[in-house]
Amino acid sequence: MIDPKTVTNFERTPQELEEFMLFSIVVAGKNAFVQANKLEDFLSPWRKNGYSPFAALRTMDMDGSMVEFLRSVKMGQYNRVSTAFRGLAHFFRYNDDTMRYHPLKEIPIKYLETFKGIGMKTARFFAMHTRPHQQYACLDTHILRWLGEKGHIVPKTTPQGDKYLALEKVFLDYCNQMGKLPAELDLAIWNEAHVVKSEIAS
């Protein structure tokens, strides 16, 4: 199961890479802890029967039950999520039992973005937390808020294209100044924001 507080791991197994790719998709715009639990509920019955995440998706797609299973755990965004799941599962088809290497480990970010349902933010989130020394920014709401607090003009929602790249450069400049990898600073900002939320709630 994915732990949102410790998402960075550069030594994931092929099955763990697949699971984290799916988490990267379903967490977009949602509560990370809630979505991690939903994904676990979605995958655990298949895992118990020996299916890798993508193998489970291919089986669900072949019998037409994918959206039904997604609805059973109230995953949300069913069209986007099922489209992305379907595209990934059929593209990355390999022998789950014998392969120790997974092409997800090195697929270029630009290529990941060609899958429907996966944007710049999702592709970067996946790469940052599965590969060492990645120089990308996941411009989620907590990062946009942090940049806004630093005095930068930021949109309320994640931008796209050149606007994304411009703000990404600003964030990476902060990383360089602070001597931190983007994944480290991202997670530190996210954890700090959730500590504040917890203190307010209590």
Asked if the model's pLDDT at residue 200 lies above 50, the reply is no
Is 123 within 8 Å of 109 (Cβ atoms)? Answer: yes
Q: What is the pLDDT of residue 152?
A: 95
Q: Which whole number is the average pLDDT over 111-116?
A: 94
- The whole-model pTM stands at 0.88
Cα–Cα distances (Å) from 38 to 27, 102, 127, 148, 180, in that order, read: 10, 24, 22, 31, 31
Asked if the model's pLDDT at residue 202 lies above 50, the reply is no
Q: Report the topology of domain 1-132.
A: Endonuclease III; domain 1 (1.10.340)
Q: Which whole number is the average pLDDT over 103-126?
A: 93
Of the pLDDT bands very low, low, confident and very high (cuts 50, 70, 90), residue 194 is low
Q: What percent of the chain has pLDDT over 70?
A: 92
Q: What is the pLDDT of residue 201?
A: 44
Q: What is the pLDDT of residue 96?
A: 52
